[in-house]
């Protein structure tokens, strides 16, 4: 049986970076490479029900129950005890477009000593993973870490989750005497660019309840996430020779600055934490005649989320009132919503995960997600789906790392959760 670490090290070397500018689905063809690999591995393990959506790059699998008692009823002390068969687990295959995922060269740091870790250098810049910058590293003294070489991201988001689900599946197939209900598995593309659920087949997946395995450090258990929207603002100016511009020129780039000045300064990502939402200016391009601003809007509270969208609209209206109708236009699109609204009647999932963690000596850390997961959208598609940890940190960048002992323990957690419906 291949260890979860061995699986992880193989998976991160497959480039699956998604592309937020692509107009195809999935956004990159290279995601099919890992999907095909997982399909073959599942079949070789002996999973009888494996389906590869070769159009949209989804992998679905089911390990049939081997016990007559197949109802997943949750913890005995839960106030909500629904009748359903089995439990599902989901992770995404793509990696963030923010940093390259090509040529990932993972490094293993054994028995971490609490000091700076030299990752490598590129273009005369040295990359050092330091507890002075990332103090949670001190929690891993004596543990084994997997890091990058400073040239790429690692891909623990979410290939650690993929590896843990695959290791869990292999455990049950290698130990057919272990009783379990139906176990449903899915691997998705394009989560990092917000498209992971765009073509997800809920009926094919089969589970009525599931967990995404897509969190961070060990113990993370999440059932609240941001409400999310994108906003694109276009500003139209009027170009005139600067020597003759008085009372004629309208500089769209200056209008962009004026627009952004109307957004609450203390509600930027760098000033917020916990349940506080934000406006994040992700891109700004401009000339005298035309400028574009792109924002993402986030808030856990639905009313405050709606107010953020109103602020964008009012800022555009104020530009139009001063410079003429049509100077500013905007498109606001909702992306996903807080899954808490859909999990209030399925809190047994949280209780089960919390209890299973405690039984394994893991300290549960129940915090709101300052982001989103496939599970947030899936919850609104009828499958309540909280999020659990994978063991990684510093996602989407060169300083990403993952703890080997955490991945091993999380694999045990998935096994325990899969058996709880027995």
Task: Check whether 391 has a pLDDT greater than 70.
Answer: yes
- Phi and psi for 298 in degrees, rounded to 5? -140, 140
Is residue 349 within 8 Å of residue 81, measured between CB atoms? no
Task: Check whether 8 has a pLDDT greater than 60.
Answer: yes
- pLDDT at residue 1, rounded to an integer: 82
> In which band, very low, low, confident or very high, does the pLDDT at 177 lie, cut at 50, 70 and 90?
very high
Is the sign of the CA dihedral 27, 15, 172, 357 positive or negative?
A: negative
Q: How far apart are CA 404 and CA 164, in angstroms?
A: 11
CA 2 to chain centre: 26
Is residue 375 within 8 Å of residue 223, measured between CB atoms? no
Is residue 347 within 8 Å of residue 366, measured between CB atoms? no
For the segment 49-66, the average pLDDT, to the nearest whole number, is 97
CA 156 to chain centre: 11
What would the pLDDT profile of 234-277 be if each residue is shown by its tens digit? 999 999 999 999 999 999 999 999 999 999 999 999 999 999 99
- pLDDT at residue 48, rounded to an integer: 87
- pLDDT at residue 74, rounded to an integer: 52
Is residue 299 within 8 Å of residue 227, measured between CB atoms? yes
Per-residue tokens: 50: 């494996």
Q: How far apart are CA 35 and CA 156, in angstroms?
A: 16
Which residue from 31, 406, 349, 88 is spatially nearest to 216, judged by alpha carbons? 406
Q: How far apart are CA 271 and CA 269, in angstroms?
A: 5
Per-residue tokens: 419: 């058996």
Whole-angstrom CA distances from 6 to 12, 164, 169, 208, 401 are 10, 11, 15, 31, 15
Is 214 known to sit in a ligand binding site?
yes
Task: Check whether 218 has a pLDDT greater than 50.
Answer: yes
* Cβ neighbours, 10 Å, residue 54: 11
Q: Is 358 exposed, middle or buried (0-12, 13-18, 19+ CB in 10 A)?
A: exposed
Helix H or strand E segment including 310: helix 302-323
Residues 6+ apart with CB under 8 A from 46: 173
**Phi/psi-derived region of residue 194, left when phi > 0, alpha when psi is between -120 and 50, beta in every other case:** left
Is 290 known to sit in a ligand binding site?
no
Is 182 known to sit in a ligand binding site?
no
Is 192 known to sit in a ligand binding site?
yes
Q: How far apart are CA 72 and CA 185, in angstroms?
A: 16
pTM of the model: 0.88
Q: How far apart are CA 19 and CA 25, in angstroms?
A: 10
Whole-angstrom CA distances from 104 to 4, 11, 91, 151, 253 are 18, 10, 20, 8, 39
- pLDDT at residue 85, rounded to an integer: 66
Task: Check whether 374 has a pLDDT greater than 60.
Answer: yes
* Cβ neighbours, 10 Å, residue 329: 14
Task: Check whether 70 has a pLDDT greater than 80.
Answer: no
Whole-angstrom CA distances from 73 to 20, 61, 297 are 39, 22, 37
- pLDDT at residue 68, rounded to an integer: 65
Per-residue tokens: 92: 């995404």
Q: How many CA atoms lie within 13 A of 40 on its CB side?
A: 6
For the segment 130-154, the average pLDDT, to the nearest whole number, is 97
What would the pLDDT profile of 282-338 be if each residue is shown by its tens digit? 999 999 999 999 999 999 999 999 999 999 999 999 999 999 999 999 999 999 999
Q: How far apart are CA 190 and CA 335, in angstroms?
A: 14
Q: How far apart are CA 287 and CA 204, in angstroms?
A: 49
Per-residue tokens: 202: 């809920």
Residues taking part in catalysis: 94, 191
Is 92 known to sit in a ligand binding site?
yes
> If you search the block for the tokens 């997961």, which residue do you land on?
373
* Cβ neighbours, 10 Å, residue 23: 6
Please give the domain boundaries of the chain with CATH numbers for all domains.
Answer: 4-224+339-419 (3.40.630.10), 227-335 (3.30.70.360)
């Amino acid at each position: 049986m291949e260890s979860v670490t061995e699986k992880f090290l193989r998976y991160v070397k497959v480039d699956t970076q998604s592309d937020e500018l692509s107009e195809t689905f999935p956004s990159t063809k290279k995601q099919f490479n890992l999907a095909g690999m997982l399909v073959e591995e599942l079949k070789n393990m002996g999973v009888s029900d494996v389906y590869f959506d070769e159009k949209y790059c989804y992998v679905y699998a089911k390990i049939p129950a081997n016990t007559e008692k197949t109802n997943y009823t949750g913890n005995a002390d839960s106030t909500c005890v629904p009748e359903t068969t089995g439990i599902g687990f989901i992770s995404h295959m793509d990696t963030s477009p923010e940093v390259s995922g090509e040529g990932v060269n993972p490094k293993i740091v054994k028995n971490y000593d609490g000091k700076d870790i030299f990752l490598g250098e590129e273009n005369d810049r040295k990359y050092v993973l330091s507890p002075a910058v990332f103090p949670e590293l001190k929690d891993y003294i004596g543990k084994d870490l997997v890091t990058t070489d400073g040239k790429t991201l690692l891909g623990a988001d979410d290939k650690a989750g993929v590896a843990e689900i695959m290791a869990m599946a292999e455990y049950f197939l290698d130990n057919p005497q272990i009783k379990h209900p139906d176990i449903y598995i899915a691997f998705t593309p394009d989560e990092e660019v917000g498209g992971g659920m765009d073509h997800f087949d809920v009926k094919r997946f089969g589970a009525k309840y599931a967990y995404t395995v897509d969190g961070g450090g060990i113990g993370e258990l999440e059932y609240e996430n941001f409400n999310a929207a994108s906003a694109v603002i276009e500003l139209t100016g009027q170009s005139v020779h600067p020597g003759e511009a008085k009372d004629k020129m309208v500089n769209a780039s200056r209008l962009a600055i004026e627009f952004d000045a109307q957004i609450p300064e203390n509600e930027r990502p760098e000033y917020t934490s916990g349940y506080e939402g934000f406006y994040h200016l992700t891109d700004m391009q401009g000339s005298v005649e035309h400028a574009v601003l792109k924002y993402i809007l986030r808030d856990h509270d639905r009313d405050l989320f709606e107010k953020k969208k109103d602020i964008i609209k009012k800022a555009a209206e104020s530009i139009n009132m001063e410079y003429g109708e049509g100077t500013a236009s905007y498109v606001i699109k909702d992306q996903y919503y807080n899954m808490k609204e859909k999990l209030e009647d399925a809190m047994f999932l949280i209780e089960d995960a919390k209890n299973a963690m405690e039984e394994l000596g893991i300290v549960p850390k129940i915090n709101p997600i300052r982001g989103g997961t496939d599970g947030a959208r899936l919850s609104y598609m009828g499958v309540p789906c909280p999020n659990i940890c994978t063991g990684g940190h510093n996602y989407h960048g060169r300083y990403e790392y993952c703890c080997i002992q955490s991945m091993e323990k999380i694999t045990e957690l998935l096994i325990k959760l899969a058996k709880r419906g027995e």
